[in-house]
Structure 1
């Protein structure tokens, strides 16, 4: 249960002032005399939350949770287009054993969508195990990532470690959903990492739901239902890829809780 108060700022950046106000104070919206703004979000733990009253109660619990876990929120990056914004943060908090942990969180905000706020993060750092999360959005066969990110996705689906690594800059890195303790940088390290990923009989074909690109970063929401030879329960995720000056990937951040045959 991780709410980022700055999510409302993403709605503001998209010109969705009513949605931003509803996210900041849904209770005020609940008592407004004018027609209320439809508000709905999907969270990895709580699932679908809709309606001003339910959202207000959930946000109140979130505020208590942040205080109890001594939460600090570190901004990472924002990818913005005309209709959608994807924000990335690291939530620093006191974990189950009392030690400080950094939990990567990404949020897609799309004011015109039926589900305008979609939160993504792994629950491994919080619980010590994966929790399978059903798809948040439907697969869109017309969604395609461009240039080097499209090449990365194709190589990932094909299980071609060399082709995957070729899309990264020499100092590029991949960060797993559990945070910087699971970060792999440099050509040799990435090569070994992806060979391990593909040791379950092949690649990881992702079904894209949305693509958000601003020229520097490409973010896509996806469904993962196969890993190598294994069929998986369809699971939701989001990934963000940053390009460097040479057009190659300098950073790959994944936000999911996919329970696959290879860890």
Structure 2
């Protein structure tokens, strides 16, 4: 049986064209969903979607980089990586994340890929919600972060981070760190109001947390519900060291 970390490595391998080993890990009832191919139900549809997804990444001569896997004890796991796409003669890094649902045999029953298409299309691509009414129970620090986002409270949001904490946006831009206070990022993000999310699935390893969400309001405006994923790194103090966001949501004007 493959571990979640190995499954993610096989997925990255499949994006390079070697899909067979990853396809062997799909259950007959698997549901696969990606920004490129949409939703596929069952193994045959998912294998076809995976081949089309692999062709898309190979069209950009993608170089894939493994990041980190966060696994729980309930058959749910998340992982991060990066694809370097050749665009106009440049290698452009596109952060990507996956969520995996595993049965007791460690076969995939669900696989969801998250990344922005902004670097390729120079426009945001609406991706509808992937969950209905399911809600995750949030640990206190993530719940505090969630409330700060919803209330547009820049000071509270920044206060949940270490002094050199960072937020990485979907296209890879990093705000905060030692040079620039993270509060400036949140003040910009909340200039017209907060961001409202429903969190659906969550995995918490202690030092790392990952969750899938639906964003449905930003800047006090209802927006089409859109899927996303978020990762948090905790420091020894209990504050956040970093947050990384994976979605294609456009800030309302």
Matched residues in 2 for 1:78 and 1:207: separation? 23
TM-score scaled to structure 2, two decimals?
0.84
Q: Secondary structure at the match of 1:105?
A: strand
User: Kindly tell me: are residues 65 and 234 of structure 1, through their superposed partners in 2, closer, same or farther at Cα, counting changes over 3 Å?
Assistant: closer
Q: Secondary structure at the match of 2:147?
A: helix
Q: Secondary structure at the match of 2:158?
A: helix
- The answer for the alignment partner of 2:182 in structure 1 is 190
Matched residues in 2 for 1:140 and 1:54: separation? 25
TM-score scaled to structure 1, two decimals?
0.81
Q: Secondary structure at the match of 1:140?
A: coil
- The answer for the alignment partner of 2:114 in structure 1 is 120
Q: Would the aligned equivalents of 1:139 and 1:223 in 2 still touch at CA under 8 Å?
A: no
Q: 1:134 aligns with which of 128, 141, 148?
A: 128
Task: Describe the superposition over 1:119-159 as per-residue Cα deviations: whole angstroms up to 9, x where unpaired.
Answer: 11111112111011100112434x23213222111111111
State yes or no: 1:145 paired with 2:141: no
For structure 1, which segment, 80-89 or 63-72, has the greater mean C-alpha deviation from structure 2 after superposition? 63-72
- The answer for the alignment partner of 1:102 in structure 2 is 93
- The answer for the alignment partner of 1:71 in structure 2 is 62
Q: 1:176 aligns with which of 159, 169, 174?
A: 169
Q: 2:46 aligns with which of 33, 41, 55?
A: 55
Q: 1:92 aligns with which of 62, 84, 93?
A: 84
Task: Describe the superposition over 1:35-82 as per-residue Cα deviations: whole angstroms up to 9, x where unpaired.
Answer: x72222001121101233333333333444443322221112111001
Structure 2, unmatched stretches of 5+, are 11-18
User: Kindly tell me: are residues 154 and 41 of structure 1, through their superposed partners in 2, closer, same or farther at Cα, counting changes over 3 Å?
Assistant: same
Task: Describe the superposition over 1:66-124 as per-residue Cα deviations: whole angstroms up to 9, x where unpaired.
Answer: 433222211121110012110100111212x2311111111000125996101111111
Let me know the Cα RMSD of the aligned residues: 2.7
Q: Would the aligned equivalents of 2:198 and 2:214 in 1 still touch at CA under 8 Å?
A: yes
Q: Would the aligned equivalents of 1:149 and 1:249 in 2 still touch at CA under 8 Å?
A: no
Q: Higher strand share goes to which structure?
A: 2
- The answer for the alignment partner of 2:157 in structure 1 is 164
